[in-house]
Amino acid sequence: MKFSKLSQLFLVSGLGLSVAALISACDIITVDYVYVASSAGSGTSTNGQIDIYAADSASGALRTIDTTVSSGGVDPVSITVDSAYANLYAANAGSNSIVHFAIGLDGGLTQKDTASVSATPVAIAVNTADTYLYAISGTSSATLTAYPLTSGALGAAVSSAPFTVPGFAGDTIIPTGITVLEDNSAVFVSALDKSAYNPGGKTTSTANPGWVFGFSVGSGGALTPAPGSPWTAGIRPSAIASDPTNRFVYVTDYTSGALIAYTILDLNTPQVKLSFLSNGPFKTGNEPSAITIDPRGKFIYLTNQLDNSVSAYAIDLATGTPTTVVNVVGSATNSTEAEPVALIVDPALGRFVYTANYLGPSVSGFTLDPNAGSLKPTQASPYPTDPKPTSITAIPHGNHASQVVDN
């Protein structure tokens, strides 16, 4: 039987509505709660929003489970949770604040306390001991700041460290991403030297344009620059991640379309430092914007903002070398909606990948093959969000321990 284009459209639309109705009508088993921060408020609100979803354990499909919650400020750019999955934190760039929320058993959020940030926050991360929240901030004078956590509550800053390139003290450094080692011994930050790389504007420095800064964490949260820090990191580093075994660091280069890999040396000493993997950098799609590593430490996933896609890599656990994962259909392309800018692997089963698509506005979902690392779209993906989603995080629900590396 042949269908006209109009008939085909009606058929596809009808099937889509049937699938959506089936998901809504059937009881699903929630395996994760997923949180998405959107920088544009809905309706007449100027505040940022946090959407809350339940993830189905079988299909990975998302459904909204609660009313949208205010981010507690304007223009949220980063959200994260603690390792106990009891607290969520939102960094609001438009109001220079970090807001703490308690997470209920039903996944709901209750606003608690707020910490002021002296400069515009860019990204935040919590260490696995749940003792410190780290914030990178500033668009002209960049700083890493440590805030103590007590049962989730935010305390006043106890330590801070500026980003300065030796020999180029006057350069404008803009932080772009942050990662805390699993053993809480060090913090690494990706950053751009705007004085050396400023498309459309003046450059006043001959320094390398991209950097990774490293800081050892001492008693009381003291931050000490690691010897040899910062290390060069391409042209425009956009995001950074460390593996769960504390052996490797990976940085995306937005301009070059590359993944840069480092080995961590002298771990657990004040001499922690990085060394390039000699066989890198590794090719990505166009304009890689975010990166994450699955909880088992086996696979890397990153978003390609210009290509509207996710790239997948398998990690050689002996060397840290990433190798492109090809899907069963013979393609390495995993399409998202417009401008994916953040992504996560679900913490409960490590079987689903979700991206926040800034111009979607939506979340794209993928099922992760735990053996090969390949991806395929989840049921009924993509899922609508509030306008301009910027960040995404998740917690496990029920009796599901977070996935860990076993090697």
- 267: CATH: 2.130.10.10
**2 found inside a domain:** no
Output the pLDDT for position 332: 84
By the 10 Å C-beta count (0-12 exposed, 13-18 middle, 19+ buried), 46 is classed as exposed
What is the mean pLDDT of the segment spanning 65-89?
94
Torsion of CA 386, 387, 391, 396, to 10 degrees: 10
* 23 inside domain: no
Residue 136 to residue 122: CA distance in whole angstroms: 6
pLDDT of residue 79: 98
Cβ burial of 200 (10 Å; 0-12, 13-18, 19+) is exposed
Band of pLDDT at residue 255, cut at 50, 70 and 90? very high
- CA–CA separation, 326 vs 217, rounded Å? 39
Instruction: Please answer whether residues 292 and 342 qualify as being in contact, where contact means their C-beta atoms are separated by less than 8 angstroms.
Output: no
In a domain, 20, yes or no: no
Within 10 A of 286 (CB to CB), how many other CB atoms are there? 13
* Residue pLDDT, tens place only, 186-243: 999 999 999 999 999 999 999 999 999 999 999 999 999 998 999 999 999 999 999 9
Domain extent at residue 62: 31-396
Is 8 a domain residue? no
Q: Is residue 7 part of a domain?
A: no
Number of domain units in the chain: 1
For the chain, counts of helices (H) and of strands (E): 1, 34
Q: Express each pLDDT in 206-218 by its tens digit.
A: 999 999 999 999 9
More confident residue, 66 or 265: 265
First to last CA, the chain: 55
Closest C-alpha among 271, 270, 249 to residue 260: 249
Classify residue 12: in a domain, yes or no: no
Q: Averaged over 267-271, what is the pLDDT?
A: 61
Residue 370: inside a domain:
yes
DSSP string, 233-283: --S-EEEEEE-TTSSEEEEEETTTTEEEEEEEESTTSTT-EEEE-TT--EE
Query: pLDDT tier at 5 (50, 70, 90 boundaries)?
Result: very low
- pTM for the full model? 0.90
Q: How far, CA to CA in Å, does 50 sit from each of 41, 71, 92, 337, 338?
A: 9, 6, 12, 19, 19
- 321 burial type by CB count under 10 A (0-12 exposed, 13-18 middle, 19+ buried): middle
Question: Is pLDDT above 70 for 407?
Answer: no
Average pLDDT over residues 48-73: 93
Identify the pLDDT of residue 12.
37
Q: State residue 398's pLDDT score.
A: 77
- For residue 13, tell me if it sits in a domain: no
d(CA 72, CA 62): 24
Structure-token pair, residue 117: 């940030």
- Whether 155 has a pLDDT exceeding 80, the answer reads yes
Does 6 score more than 60 pLDDT?
A: no
Which helix (H) or strand (E) segment is 36 a member of? Answer: strand 30-38
Tokens encoding 80: 């994260």
Cα–Cα distance for residue pair 241/179, rounded to 1 Å = 5
41 — pLDDT class (breaks 50, 70, 90) = low
Q: What integer pLDDT is reported at residue 138 of this predicted model?
A: 92
The whole-chain average pLDDT of the chain stands at 89
pLDDT at position 145 over 90: yes
Condensed to tens digits (0 to 9), the pLDDT of residues 315-340 reads: 999 999 999 999 878 888 899 999 99
